[in-house]
Structure 1
Amino acid sequence: MTSNTQEDPKIRLDKWLWAARFYKTRSLAKAAIEGGKVHYNNQRCKPGKVVETGARVTLRTGWQEREVIIDGISGQRRGAPEASLLYRETDDSVRRREDQAWQRKTLLASQLPPARRPSKKDRRTLQRFKEQNNI
Structure 2
Amino acid sequence: MQPASAASANTPGTKNPSPDLRRALPRQAPARHQVLCGDFAAYQDPEEEWTVEGFASAEAAQEYARRFIRAQIEDLRAEAPDPEALRAAYFGWGEYAATEGLDTEAWVAHCIANPATSPRDTNYQAIEP
What's the TM-score bracket when you normalise by the shorter of the two chains?
A: under 0.3
Q: When the two structures are superposed, what TM-score results if normalisation uses the length of structure 2?
A: 0.25
Q: Which has the higher helix share?
A: 2
